[in-house]
Chains A and B, each alone.
Chain A
Amino acid sequence: MLVTALSPVIGYDKASAIAHDADRTGRTLRESALDSGAITAEDFDRIVNPATMVGPF
Protein backbone atom coordinates (compact mmCIF):
# COMPACT_ATOMS: atom_id res chain seq x y z
CA MET A 1 0.00 0.00 0.00
CA LEU A 2 2.81 2.35 -0.93
CA VAL A 3 0.15 4.29 -2.82
CA THR A 4 -0.94 5.70 0.54
CA ALA A 5 1.90 8.21 0.39
CA LEU A 6 0.30 9.77 -2.70
CA SER A 7 -2.98 10.61 -0.97
CA PRO A 8 -1.87 13.89 0.62
CA VAL A 9 -0.66 15.08 -2.80
CA ILE A 10 -3.29 13.84 -5.29
CA GLY A 11 -6.15 12.86 -2.97
CA TYR A 12 -7.58 9.54 -1.80
CA ASP A 13 -9.88 9.04 -4.78
CA LYS A 14 -7.18 9.40 -7.46
CA ALA A 15 -4.81 7.27 -5.42
CA SER A 16 -7.52 4.58 -5.12
CA ALA A 17 -8.08 4.59 -8.86
CA ILE A 18 -4.34 4.16 -9.44
CA ALA A 19 -4.15 1.24 -6.98
CA HIS A 20 -7.14 -0.51 -8.55
CA ASP A 21 -5.73 0.02 -12.04
CA ALA A 22 -2.38 -1.47 -11.08
CA ASP A 23 -4.08 -4.47 -9.48
CA ARG A 24 -6.40 -5.03 -12.43
CA THR A 25 -3.76 -4.67 -15.15
CA GLY A 26 -0.87 -6.21 -13.29
CA ARG A 27 1.25 -3.11 -13.96
CA THR A 28 3.50 -1.54 -11.39
CA LEU A 29 2.12 1.20 -9.21
CA ARG A 30 4.51 3.65 -10.89
CA GLU A 31 3.26 2.76 -14.36
CA SER A 32 -0.36 3.22 -13.39
CA ALA A 33 0.35 6.43 -11.51
CA LEU A 34 2.23 8.04 -14.37
CA ASP A 35 -0.37 6.82 -16.86
CA SER A 36 -3.10 8.52 -14.82
CA GLY A 37 -1.49 11.89 -15.31
CA ALA A 38 -2.05 12.74 -11.68
CA ILE A 39 1.61 12.89 -10.78
CA THR A 40 4.96 13.39 -12.47
CA ALA A 41 7.71 10.76 -12.47
CA GLU A 42 9.92 13.05 -10.45
CA ASP A 43 7.30 13.60 -7.75
CA PHE A 44 6.38 9.89 -7.69
CA ASP A 45 9.97 8.80 -7.13
CA ARG A 46 10.43 11.37 -4.40
CA ILE A 47 7.14 10.61 -2.59
CA VAL A 48 6.77 6.85 -3.02
CA ASN A 49 9.98 5.93 -1.26
CA PRO A 50 9.67 3.22 1.39
CA ALA A 51 12.75 4.50 3.19
CA THR A 52 11.06 7.84 3.85
CA MET A 53 7.70 6.26 4.70
CA VAL A 54 8.72 4.43 7.88
CA GLY A 55 8.14 7.35 10.22
CA PRO A 56 6.87 10.91 10.32
CA PHE A 57 10.05 12.29 11.88
Chain B
Amino acid sequence: MTTDKGPEILKIPIGINASGTRRETDSMGAVEVPADRYWGAQTARSLIHFSIGDDHMPKQVYHAYGYVKKAAAAVNADAGRLPRWKADLICHVCDEVIAGHLDEHFPLYVWQTGSGTQSNMNVNEVISNRAIQLVGGQLGSKDPIHPNDDVNMGQSSNDTFPTAMHIAAALEIQTRLLPRVRALHSAISAKSQQWHDVVKIGRTHLEDAVPLTVGQEWSGWAAQLDTAANRVSASRHELYRLAAGGTAVGTGLNAPHNFGPDIAAQIASLIGKPFVTAPNKFEAQGGLDGIVAAAAALRGLAVSLMKIANDIRWLASGPRTGIGELKLPANEPGSSIMPGKVNPTQCEAMVMVCIQVLGDDSAVAFAGSQGNFELNEMRPIVINNFLHSARILGDAAENCRPTASKESNSTQRRSTYTCTAH
Protein backbone atom coordinates (compact mmCIF):
# COMPACT_ATOMS: atom_id res chain seq x y z
CA MET B 1 0.00 0.00 0.00
CA THR B 2 1.26 3.44 -0.91
CA THR B 3 1.16 5.74 2.06
CA ASP B 4 3.27 8.63 0.83
CA LYS B 5 1.94 12.07 1.57
CA GLY B 6 0.99 13.92 -1.56
CA PRO B 7 1.24 17.57 -2.47
CA GLU B 8 -0.95 20.06 -0.65
CA ILE B 9 -4.33 20.84 -2.24
CA LEU B 10 -4.20 24.56 -3.01
CA LYS B 11 -7.18 26.86 -2.63
CA ILE B 12 -7.56 27.69 -6.29
CA PRO B 13 -11.04 28.68 -7.48
CA ILE B 14 -12.51 26.92 -10.51
CA GLY B 15 -11.41 28.50 -13.76
CA ILE B 16 -8.32 28.75 -15.92
CA ASN B 17 -6.90 32.21 -16.48
CA ALA B 18 -5.62 31.65 -19.99
CA SER B 19 -6.54 32.46 -23.57
CA GLY B 20 -5.86 30.81 -26.90
CA THR B 21 -5.30 27.09 -26.96
CA ARG B 22 -3.43 24.45 -24.99
CA ARG B 23 -1.81 21.34 -26.41
CA GLU B 24 -3.35 18.11 -25.11
CA THR B 25 -2.42 14.59 -26.12
CA ASP B 26 -3.98 11.18 -26.22
CA SER B 27 -3.06 7.84 -27.77
CA MET B 28 -3.69 9.26 -31.25
CA GLY B 29 -1.45 12.31 -30.85
CA ALA B 30 -1.77 15.98 -30.03
CA VAL B 31 -4.84 18.21 -30.23
CA GLU B 32 -5.34 21.89 -29.49
CA VAL B 33 -8.01 22.60 -26.88
CA PRO B 34 -9.34 25.93 -25.58
CA ALA B 35 -6.84 27.08 -22.95
CA ASP B 36 -9.56 28.08 -20.50
CA ARG B 37 -11.20 24.66 -20.45
CA TYR B 38 -10.31 21.60 -18.38
CA TRP B 39 -11.16 19.00 -21.02
CA GLY B 40 -8.50 17.17 -22.97
CA ALA B 41 -7.77 15.61 -26.32
CA GLN B 42 -10.52 13.01 -26.47
CA THR B 43 -13.20 15.55 -25.65
CA ALA B 44 -11.78 17.85 -28.32
CA ARG B 45 -11.88 15.05 -30.88
CA SER B 46 -15.50 14.31 -30.03
CA LEU B 47 -16.44 17.96 -30.54
CA ILE B 48 -14.85 17.83 -34.01
CA HIS B 49 -16.47 14.61 -35.14
CA PHE B 50 -19.79 14.72 -33.28
CA SER B 51 -21.13 18.26 -33.41
CA ILE B 52 -24.63 17.07 -34.23
CA GLY B 53 -27.59 19.30 -33.51
CA ASP B 54 -27.96 21.20 -30.27
CA ASP B 55 -28.68 18.28 -27.95
CA HIS B 56 -26.09 18.10 -25.20
CA MET B 57 -25.57 15.23 -22.81
CA PRO B 58 -27.74 16.09 -19.79
CA LYS B 59 -25.77 17.59 -16.91
CA GLN B 60 -27.34 15.09 -14.51
CA VAL B 61 -25.28 12.37 -16.21
CA TYR B 62 -22.07 14.18 -15.26
CA HIS B 63 -23.25 14.83 -11.72
CA ALA B 64 -23.96 11.09 -11.43
CA TYR B 65 -20.54 10.37 -12.90
CA GLY B 66 -19.09 12.48 -10.08
CA TYR B 67 -20.47 9.92 -7.62
CA VAL B 68 -19.09 7.03 -9.70
CA LYS B 69 -15.56 8.47 -9.88
CA LYS B 70 -15.61 9.45 -6.20
CA ALA B 71 -16.74 5.98 -5.15
CA ALA B 72 -14.16 4.31 -7.40
CA ALA B 73 -11.35 6.42 -5.97
CA ALA B 74 -12.42 5.59 -2.41
CA VAL B 75 -12.63 1.85 -3.14
CA ASN B 76 -9.26 1.87 -4.90
CA ALA B 77 -7.65 3.75 -2.03
CA ASP B 78 -9.17 1.47 0.61
CA ALA B 79 -7.70 -1.51 -1.24
CA GLY B 80 -4.27 0.14 -1.48
CA ARG B 81 -4.30 0.37 -5.25
CA LEU B 82 -4.45 4.16 -5.37
CA PRO B 83 -2.43 6.37 -3.02
CA ARG B 84 -4.73 7.94 -0.48
CA TRP B 85 -3.67 11.46 -1.36
CA LYS B 86 -4.57 10.85 -5.02
CA ALA B 87 -7.97 9.53 -3.98
CA ASP B 88 -8.53 12.53 -1.74
CA LEU B 89 -7.61 14.85 -4.58
CA ILE B 90 -9.92 13.05 -7.02
CA CYS B 91 -12.74 13.06 -4.44
CA HIS B 92 -12.24 16.80 -3.91
CA VAL B 93 -12.80 17.44 -7.63
CA CYS B 94 -15.68 14.94 -7.76
CA ASP B 95 -17.50 17.03 -5.17
CA GLU B 96 -17.19 19.99 -7.54
CA VAL B 97 -18.55 17.85 -10.39
CA ILE B 98 -21.48 16.62 -8.26
CA ALA B 99 -22.33 20.17 -7.23
CA GLY B 100 -22.45 21.25 -10.88
CA HIS B 101 -19.59 23.70 -10.54
CA LEU B 102 -17.77 22.21 -13.54
CA ASP B 103 -20.83 21.92 -15.81
CA GLU B 104 -19.45 24.23 -18.48
CA HIS B 105 -16.52 21.87 -18.97
CA PHE B 106 -18.80 19.05 -20.21
CA PRO B 107 -19.68 20.22 -23.72
CA LEU B 108 -20.37 16.98 -25.58
CA TYR B 109 -23.45 16.12 -27.57
CA VAL B 110 -25.95 13.31 -27.11
CA TRP B 111 -25.17 12.05 -30.59
CA GLN B 112 -21.76 10.48 -29.97
CA THR B 113 -20.48 6.99 -29.40
CA GLY B 114 -23.35 4.74 -28.35
CA SER B 115 -21.48 3.58 -25.26
CA GLY B 116 -21.04 7.09 -23.85
CA THR B 117 -17.25 6.60 -23.85
CA GLN B 118 -16.59 10.16 -24.96
CA SER B 119 -18.53 11.53 -22.01
CA ASN B 120 -16.69 9.18 -19.64
CA MET B 121 -13.37 10.41 -21.03
CA ASN B 122 -14.61 14.00 -20.77
CA VAL B 123 -15.18 13.35 -17.05
CA ASN B 124 -11.78 11.67 -16.66
CA GLU B 125 -10.00 14.51 -18.44
CA VAL B 126 -11.73 17.29 -16.52
CA ILE B 127 -11.14 15.63 -13.14
CA SER B 128 -7.50 15.02 -14.09
CA ASN B 129 -6.79 18.57 -15.16
CA ARG B 130 -8.70 20.22 -12.33
CA ALA B 131 -6.82 17.98 -9.86
CA ILE B 132 -3.51 18.88 -11.51
CA GLN B 133 -4.38 22.56 -11.21
CA LEU B 134 -5.18 22.13 -7.50
CA VAL B 135 -1.66 20.86 -6.77
CA GLY B 136 0.10 23.41 -8.96
CA GLY B 137 0.88 21.05 -11.85
CA GLN B 138 0.85 21.59 -15.59
CA LEU B 139 -2.50 21.09 -17.33
CA GLY B 140 -2.39 18.35 -19.92
CA SER B 141 0.62 16.66 -18.29
CA LYS B 142 -1.56 13.90 -16.79
CA ASP B 143 0.73 14.20 -13.78
CA PRO B 144 0.12 13.55 -10.95
CA ILE B 145 -3.48 12.50 -11.78
CA HIS B 146 -3.82 10.50 -14.98
CA PRO B 147 -7.30 10.45 -16.59
CA ASN B 148 -7.16 6.75 -17.43
CA ASP B 149 -4.77 5.21 -14.91
CA ASP B 150 -6.06 7.09 -11.86
CA VAL B 151 -9.54 8.54 -12.47
CA ASN B 152 -10.71 5.58 -14.57
CA MET B 153 -8.92 2.93 -12.47
CA GLY B 154 -10.73 -0.41 -12.51
CA GLN B 155 -13.43 0.95 -14.81
CA SER B 156 -14.64 0.90 -18.39
CA SER B 157 -17.10 3.22 -20.08
CA ASN B 158 -19.14 0.09 -20.68
CA ASP B 159 -19.85 -0.37 -17.00
CA THR B 160 -19.60 3.20 -15.68
CA PHE B 161 -21.85 4.89 -18.24
CA PRO B 162 -24.70 2.45 -17.48
CA THR B 163 -24.01 3.08 -13.80
CA ALA B 164 -24.18 6.86 -14.21
CA MET B 165 -27.38 6.45 -16.27
CA HIS B 166 -29.09 4.54 -13.47
CA ILE B 167 -27.95 6.98 -10.80
CA ALA B 168 -29.07 10.01 -12.82
CA ALA B 169 -32.44 8.42 -13.62
CA ALA B 170 -33.12 7.35 -10.02
CA LEU B 171 -32.16 10.77 -8.65
CA GLU B 172 -34.32 12.62 -11.17
CA ILE B 173 -37.30 10.48 -10.21
CA GLN B 174 -36.67 10.94 -6.52
CA THR B 175 -35.71 14.60 -6.29
CA ARG B 176 -37.82 16.28 -8.98
CA LEU B 177 -40.48 14.11 -10.57
CA LEU B 178 -42.18 12.29 -7.71
CA PRO B 179 -42.48 15.28 -5.35
CA ARG B 180 -44.17 17.28 -8.11
CA VAL B 181 -46.54 14.50 -9.12
CA ARG B 182 -47.42 13.82 -5.48
CA ALA B 183 -48.17 17.53 -5.00
CA LEU B 184 -50.50 17.54 -7.99
CA HIS B 185 -52.15 14.39 -6.64
CA SER B 186 -52.71 16.12 -3.30
CA ALA B 187 -54.27 19.14 -5.00
CA ILE B 188 -56.66 16.96 -7.01
CA SER B 189 -57.52 14.89 -3.92
CA ALA B 190 -58.33 18.07 -2.01
CA LYS B 191 -60.72 19.18 -4.77
CA SER B 192 -62.26 15.73 -4.75
CA GLN B 193 -63.08 16.16 -1.06
CA GLN B 194 -64.20 19.77 -1.45
CA TRP B 195 -66.72 18.81 -4.12
CA HIS B 196 -67.70 15.42 -2.67
CA ASP B 197 -71.42 16.28 -2.60
CA VAL B 198 -71.79 18.31 -5.79
CA VAL B 199 -73.93 16.23 -8.13
CA LYS B 200 -73.40 16.44 -11.88
CA ILE B 201 -74.25 14.35 -14.89
CA GLY B 202 -71.84 11.63 -15.90
CA ARG B 203 -70.99 11.12 -19.52
CA THR B 204 -70.06 8.03 -21.52
CA HIS B 205 -69.38 7.97 -25.27
CA LEU B 206 -69.43 11.80 -25.03
CA GLU B 207 -73.18 11.51 -24.38
CA ASP B 208 -75.17 12.09 -21.18
CA ALA B 209 -75.24 9.10 -18.84
CA VAL B 210 -76.22 8.94 -15.17
CA PRO B 211 -75.28 11.20 -12.23
CA LEU B 212 -72.18 11.11 -10.07
CA THR B 213 -70.55 13.70 -7.85
CA VAL B 214 -67.79 16.02 -8.96
CA GLY B 215 -65.76 14.60 -6.08
CA GLN B 216 -66.16 11.10 -7.43
CA GLU B 217 -64.93 12.18 -10.85
CA TRP B 218 -61.90 13.94 -9.37
CA SER B 219 -61.19 11.00 -7.06
CA GLY B 220 -60.75 8.86 -10.16
CA TRP B 221 -58.11 11.23 -11.48
CA ALA B 222 -56.40 11.26 -8.09
CA ALA B 223 -56.32 7.47 -8.00
CA GLN B 224 -54.86 7.37 -11.50
CA LEU B 225 -52.06 9.70 -10.48
CA ASP B 226 -51.37 7.84 -7.25
CA THR B 227 -51.10 4.52 -9.05
CA ALA B 228 -48.94 5.92 -11.85
CA ALA B 229 -46.60 7.59 -9.35
CA ASN B 230 -46.29 4.32 -7.46
CA ARG B 231 -45.30 2.54 -10.68
CA VAL B 232 -42.62 5.16 -11.33
CA SER B 233 -41.38 4.85 -7.78
CA ALA B 234 -41.23 1.06 -8.01
CA SER B 235 -39.24 1.26 -11.25
CA ARG B 236 -36.31 2.52 -9.17
CA HIS B 237 -35.82 -1.01 -7.87
CA GLU B 238 -34.10 -2.01 -11.11
CA LEU B 239 -32.36 1.36 -11.46
CA TYR B 240 -30.66 0.72 -8.13
CA ARG B 241 -28.76 -2.18 -9.76
CA LEU B 242 -25.41 -0.91 -11.00
CA ALA B 243 -23.20 -2.33 -13.74
CA ALA B 244 -19.94 -0.98 -12.28
CA GLY B 245 -17.45 -3.81 -11.85
CA GLY B 246 -18.30 -5.49 -15.14
CA THR B 247 -15.73 -3.37 -17.06
CA ALA B 248 -15.54 -3.97 -20.82
CA VAL B 249 -17.85 -6.93 -21.45
CA GLY B 250 -19.23 -7.83 -18.04
CA THR B 251 -16.45 -10.18 -16.93
CA GLY B 252 -14.73 -7.60 -14.73
CA LEU B 253 -11.37 -7.76 -16.56
CA ASN B 254 -8.85 -5.32 -15.00
CA ALA B 255 -11.15 -4.64 -12.07
CA PRO B 256 -9.92 -5.93 -8.73
CA HIS B 257 -11.70 -8.59 -6.73
CA ASN B 258 -15.08 -7.52 -5.34
CA PHE B 259 -14.89 -4.12 -7.06
CA GLY B 260 -18.57 -4.29 -8.14
CA PRO B 261 -20.07 -4.83 -4.67
CA ASP B 262 -17.58 -2.41 -3.12
CA ILE B 263 -18.27 0.48 -5.48
CA ALA B 264 -22.03 -0.09 -5.28
CA ALA B 265 -21.80 0.05 -1.48
CA GLN B 266 -19.79 3.27 -1.71
CA ILE B 267 -22.33 4.84 -4.07
CA ALA B 268 -25.18 3.75 -1.80
CA SER B 269 -23.42 5.35 1.13
CA LEU B 270 -22.66 8.59 -0.74
CA ILE B 271 -26.20 9.03 -2.06
CA GLY B 272 -28.16 7.41 0.73
CA LYS B 273 -30.17 5.12 -1.51
CA PRO B 274 -30.09 1.30 -1.74
CA PHE B 275 -27.86 0.92 -4.78
CA VAL B 276 -26.46 -2.60 -5.21
CA THR B 277 -24.20 -4.28 -7.70
CA ALA B 278 -26.16 -5.76 -10.60
CA PRO B 279 -26.47 -9.51 -10.04
CA ASN B 280 -25.62 -10.20 -13.69
CA LYS B 281 -23.28 -7.78 -15.44
CA PHE B 282 -23.92 -9.30 -18.88
CA GLU B 283 -27.58 -8.37 -18.54
CA ALA B 284 -26.71 -4.95 -17.14
CA GLN B 285 -24.35 -4.09 -20.00
CA GLY B 286 -25.75 -6.12 -22.89
CA GLY B 287 -29.24 -4.72 -22.38
CA LEU B 288 -31.08 -1.64 -21.19
CA ASP B 289 -34.09 -3.43 -19.75
CA GLY B 290 -34.09 -1.68 -16.37
CA ILE B 291 -34.28 1.82 -17.74
CA VAL B 292 -36.64 0.73 -20.52
CA ALA B 293 -39.03 -0.44 -17.79
CA ALA B 294 -38.59 2.83 -15.90
CA ALA B 295 -39.31 4.80 -19.10
CA ALA B 296 -42.44 2.68 -19.57
CA ALA B 297 -43.53 3.79 -16.10
CA LEU B 298 -43.08 7.40 -17.22
CA ARG B 299 -45.19 6.55 -20.26
CA GLY B 300 -47.92 5.27 -17.94
CA LEU B 301 -47.81 8.50 -15.97
CA ALA B 302 -48.07 10.50 -19.21
CA VAL B 303 -51.09 8.47 -20.29
CA SER B 304 -52.86 9.22 -17.00
CA LEU B 305 -51.95 12.91 -17.07
CA MET B 306 -53.12 13.27 -20.67
CA LYS B 307 -56.52 11.78 -19.79
CA ILE B 308 -56.89 14.11 -16.83
CA ALA B 309 -55.76 17.21 -18.75
CA ASN B 310 -58.13 16.44 -21.61
CA ASP B 311 -61.08 15.87 -19.25
CA ILE B 312 -60.38 19.16 -17.49
CA ARG B 313 -60.13 21.23 -20.65
CA TRP B 314 -63.31 19.72 -22.10
CA LEU B 315 -65.19 20.37 -18.85
CA ALA B 316 -63.89 23.95 -18.91
CA SER B 317 -64.95 24.53 -22.50
CA GLY B 318 -67.13 27.56 -23.21
CA PRO B 319 -67.87 29.78 -21.41
CA ARG B 320 -71.05 30.37 -23.46
CA THR B 321 -71.24 27.49 -25.92
CA GLY B 322 -69.23 24.67 -24.33
CA ILE B 323 -69.73 22.27 -21.43
CA GLY B 324 -68.68 25.02 -19.04
CA GLU B 325 -68.68 23.00 -15.84
CA LEU B 326 -65.23 24.16 -14.75
CA LYS B 327 -63.73 27.60 -14.45
CA LEU B 328 -59.98 27.46 -14.79
CA PRO B 329 -57.55 30.09 -13.57
CA ALA B 330 -56.66 32.54 -16.33
CA ASN B 331 -52.90 32.63 -16.83
CA GLU B 332 -52.81 35.14 -19.61
CA PRO B 333 -54.87 36.71 -22.41
CA GLY B 334 -55.68 33.80 -24.68
CA SER B 335 -55.86 35.52 -28.03
CA SER B 336 -54.18 38.35 -29.85
CA ILE B 337 -57.31 39.11 -31.87
CA MET B 338 -60.23 37.85 -29.77
CA PRO B 339 -60.64 40.13 -26.73
CA GLY B 340 -61.25 38.55 -23.33
CA LYS B 341 -60.56 35.01 -24.48
CA VAL B 342 -59.32 32.60 -21.81
CA ASN B 343 -57.87 29.27 -22.89
CA PRO B 344 -56.96 26.07 -20.99
CA THR B 345 -53.31 26.64 -21.84
CA GLN B 346 -51.93 24.76 -18.85
CA CYS B 347 -53.81 21.66 -20.01
CA GLU B 348 -52.57 22.16 -23.56
CA ALA B 349 -48.96 22.31 -22.38
CA MET B 350 -49.54 19.18 -20.33
CA VAL B 351 -51.02 17.31 -23.31
CA MET B 352 -48.03 18.31 -25.47
CA VAL B 353 -45.63 17.16 -22.75
CA CYS B 354 -47.42 13.82 -22.58
CA ILE B 355 -47.26 13.42 -26.35
CA GLN B 356 -43.52 14.14 -26.20
CA VAL B 357 -43.08 11.58 -23.42
CA LEU B 358 -44.82 8.92 -25.51
CA GLY B 359 -42.41 9.76 -28.34
CA ASP B 360 -39.41 9.73 -26.01
CA ASP B 361 -40.50 6.34 -24.73
CA SER B 362 -40.92 4.91 -28.22
CA ALA B 363 -37.31 5.84 -28.98
CA VAL B 364 -36.16 4.39 -25.66
CA ALA B 365 -37.90 1.11 -26.43
CA PHE B 366 -36.39 1.05 -29.92
CA ALA B 367 -32.92 1.76 -28.53
CA GLY B 368 -33.39 -0.86 -25.83
CA SER B 369 -34.05 -3.47 -28.51
CA GLN B 370 -30.80 -2.57 -30.29
CA GLY B 371 -27.18 -3.31 -29.48
CA ASN B 372 -25.52 -6.63 -30.02
CA PHE B 373 -23.91 -9.27 -27.89
CA GLU B 374 -22.09 -7.91 -24.82
CA LEU B 375 -23.03 -4.22 -25.07
CA ASN B 376 -26.10 -2.26 -25.93
CA GLU B 377 -24.42 0.75 -27.47
CA MET B 378 -27.52 2.96 -27.83
CA ARG B 379 -27.11 4.52 -24.42
CA PRO B 380 -26.91 8.31 -24.80
CA ILE B 381 -30.27 8.57 -26.57
CA VAL B 382 -31.86 6.50 -23.82
CA ILE B 383 -30.63 8.56 -20.88
CA ASN B 384 -31.30 11.79 -22.76
CA ASN B 385 -34.88 10.81 -23.50
CA PHE B 386 -35.48 9.41 -20.04
CA LEU B 387 -34.25 12.52 -18.26
CA HIS B 388 -36.09 14.74 -20.73
CA SER B 389 -39.35 12.90 -20.10
CA ALA B 390 -38.95 12.89 -16.32
CA ARG B 391 -38.05 16.57 -16.29
CA ILE B 392 -40.90 17.84 -18.44
CA LEU B 393 -43.45 15.61 -16.69
CA GLY B 394 -42.36 16.93 -13.31
CA ASP B 395 -42.31 20.54 -14.45
CA ALA B 396 -45.70 20.22 -16.19
CA ALA B 397 -47.21 18.66 -13.07
CA GLU B 398 -45.89 21.54 -11.01
CA ASN B 399 -47.18 24.11 -13.50
CA CYS B 400 -50.58 22.43 -13.67
CA ARG B 401 -51.06 22.27 -9.91
CA PRO B 402 -52.63 25.74 -9.54
CA THR B 403 -55.25 24.67 -12.07
CA ALA B 404 -56.52 22.17 -9.54
CA SER B 405 -55.21 23.68 -6.34
CA LYS B 406 -56.85 25.21 -3.33
CA GLU B 407 -53.60 26.73 -2.12
CA SER B 408 -54.18 29.98 -3.94
CA ASN B 409 -57.22 31.90 -2.77
CA SER B 410 -57.83 33.43 -6.16
CA THR B 411 -57.50 30.03 -7.76
CA GLN B 412 -59.85 28.51 -5.25
CA ARG B 413 -62.42 31.19 -5.93
CA ARG B 414 -62.26 30.61 -9.66
CA SER B 415 -61.98 26.83 -9.58
CA THR B 416 -65.58 26.31 -8.58
CA TYR B 417 -68.26 24.58 -10.54
CA THR B 418 -70.38 27.08 -12.37
CA CYS B 419 -73.08 24.57 -12.98
CA THR B 420 -73.66 20.99 -12.02
CA ALA B 421 -76.37 18.62 -13.07
CA HIS B 422 -78.84 19.67 -15.71
Contact = CB atoms under 8 A, between A and B. Distances in A.
Given A4-B338, A23-B342, 20 more contacts: A1-B338, A1-B339, A1-B341, A3-B338, A3-B339, A3-B340, A4-B337, A6-B339, A7-B337, A7-B339, A12-B339, A15-B339, A15-B340, A16-B333, A18-B339, A18-B340, A19-B340, A20-B340, A23-B319, A23-B340
Interface residues on B, range: under 10
A17 B339 CA distance: 8
Q: Do most interface residues of chain B lie in helix, strand or loop, or is the interface mixed?
A: loop
**Interface hub of B333, B340, B341, B342 (most chain A Cβ within 10 A):** B340
Interface string A3-37: 11011000011011111100100000000000000
B187 to A, nearest CB: 24
Contacts of B335: 1
Interface string B32-69: 00000000000000000000000000000000000000
A12 B335 CA distance: 10
A53 B319 CA distance: 20
Q: Which 6 A-B pairs have the closest CB atoms?
A: A19-B340, A15-B339, A16-B339, A1-B338, A16-B340, A4-B338
A15 B336 CA distance: 12
B134 to A, nearest CB: 60
A1 B320 CA distance: 9
17 contacts: A1-B340, A3-B338, A3-B339, A3-B340, A4-B337, A4-B338, A4-B339, A7-B339, A13-B339, A15-B340, A16-B333, A16-B339, A16-B340, A17-B340, A19-B339, A20-B340, A23-B342
Nearest to B335: A1
**Interface hub of A1, A18, A19 (most chain B Cβ within 10 A):** A1
A4 B319 CA distance: 15
A7 B342 CA distance: 16
